[in-house]
Structure formats: C-alpha cells, structure tokens
Structure 1
Amino acid sequence: MRKPRDFDAELKALEDKARELKTRKVQQLGELLIATGADQLGTDELAGALVAIAETKDPAKREAWAKRGAMFFESGSRRTASGSPRNPRSAPAQPDGTQWPASSTGSA
C-alpha cells in the first residue's frame, strides 16, 4: 500500500519557495536601482518613468532601451553596493548555488 501524500506539507513547501523567490526578486530590483543610480530619483519620478516605459509599445524604443541596458551591464562604470567585481551579464549566484536565468527581455 502506498503512503498517502501530505498535501498540506507540499502546499506549505510551495508557498515557502514562492515567498523566497519573491524576496529575491525584490532584492535584485533594489540592487538594480542602486546600480543604475535610480535610487537618487524621487519616488514619484521613478514611478512615472517606469509607468511610461511599461506603457510604451514602440518596438524601436524598447530595442534601444535594451541595447542601452546591455551596454550599461557590459561597462565597468556602474556602481555596485558591494564594490566587488563580477560578471554583470551572467545571472548572480543564489545562496543555494543556483543561478537565475539571464534574460534579454528586461522583464522581471
């Protein structure tokens, strides 16, 4: 006879994993704001700029922003919170040793 599945434990594990992933995402977005210098903007300015970007459907503008973002990550001139050099085009390693997949879409 098979052992019955513990759905409650599985659900709790999935909720914990989702919470951990959300926390990492928020942390990485904060690190991106600091690295780009956008943390110096006011909340209203930053929110307005992000809303305008999200509403933009022009593929040429989006491609130009993507290229500019790629150049930013490839240059050594960006600021890092830790000050340690690292490869910005590769995904940062997570505490468990896994890496986030690199994304060229700019979505988070």
Structure 2
Amino acid sequence: MRKPRDFDAELKALEDKARELKTRKVQQLGELVIATGADQLTTDELAGALVAIAETEDISKREAWAKRGMTFFESRSRRTAPASERNPRGAPAQPGSPQSPASDTGSQ
C-alpha cells in the first residue's frame, strides 16, 4: 500500500525554498549595487534610474547596457580571479549558488 502524500509538508518545503531564493536574490542585488558603486547614489536617484531602465523599451539601449554590464563583470573577474577560476558572467562561482543577478531577466 502506498504511503499517502503529506501535501502540507510539501507546500511548506516549497514555501521555505521560495523564501530562501528570494532572500538570496535580494542579497545578490545588494552586492551588485555595491560592486557597481551605485551605493554612492541616494535612494531616490537609484530608484529613479532603475525605474527609467525598467520602462525603457528601446532594444538597442538595452543591448548596449547588457554589453556594458558584461564588460564590467569581465574586467572585475580578470582583476580578482586567476584565469582558471574566472566566471564570464561576473560573480565568483560559489558551490550551490545560482547565476549572478546580472543574468536575471528582471521579470518579476
């Protein structure tokens, strides 16, 4: 006879995992703000810039920003990691960590 599924326990585990992923994402976004030097901006300036970027539908601008971001991360990885340990998307690879926030599409 099959053991009945504990839907409550499965739901709680999924909620815990979602909370952990959200916490990690928030931490990584904070690290990104600091790494780029954007922590020197006021909260209003940073929020305004992010709103402007999020509202931009010009594909060429978004591609230019993406290219600039990749260049930023590549130059940082060359300065901080030996060639054998470089992560071309930016953040140093950590066991069990997701990709850097820069690789996130930002759709939430």
Which bin holds the TM-score, normalised by the shorter protein? 0.7 to 0.9
1: distance between equivalents of 2:103 and 2:37? 21
Change (3 A) 1:105 1:56: farther
> What TM-score do the two structures reach when normalised by structure 1?
0.80
1:23 matched to 2:17? The reply is no
Please report the RMSD computed on the Cα atoms of aligned residues, expressed in angstroms.
Answer: 2.7
2: distance between equivalents of 1:71 and 1:41? 22
1:87 matched to 2:79? The reply is no
Over residues 38-78 of structure 1, what are the superposed CA-to-partner deviations in whole Å (9 max), with x where a residue is unaligned?
0110000000000000000001100100000000001138x
> What TM-score do the two structures reach when normalised by structure 2?
0.80
Residue 102 of structure 1 and its aligned partner are, at CA, apart by 6.1
2: distance between equivalents of 1:103 and 1:44? 21
1: distance between equivalents of 2:17 and 2:56? 33
SS in 2 for 1:8: helix
Number of paired residues? 101
Higher relative contact order (CA 8 A, sep 6+): 1
| Matched residue, 2:96 | 98
Q: Which structure 2 residue ranges, 5 or more long, are not aligned?
A: none
Change (3 A) 1:62 1:13: same
SS in 1 for 2:105: coil
Over residues 2-57 of structure 1, what are the superposed CA-to-partner deviations in whole Å (9 max), with x where a residue is unaligned?
11000010001000000000000000000000000001100000000000000000
Residue 100 of structure 1 and its aligned partner are, at CA, apart by 1.5
| Matched residue, 1:64 | 64
Residue 103 of structure 1 and its aligned partner are, at CA, apart by 7.6
Identity across the alignment (%): 71
Change (3 A) 1:67 1:53: same
Change (3 A) 1:44 1:71: same
Contact 1:73 1:89 in 2 (8 A): yes
Contact 1:74 1:89 in 2 (8 A): yes
Q: Which structure 1 residue ranges, 5 or more long, are not aligned?
A: none
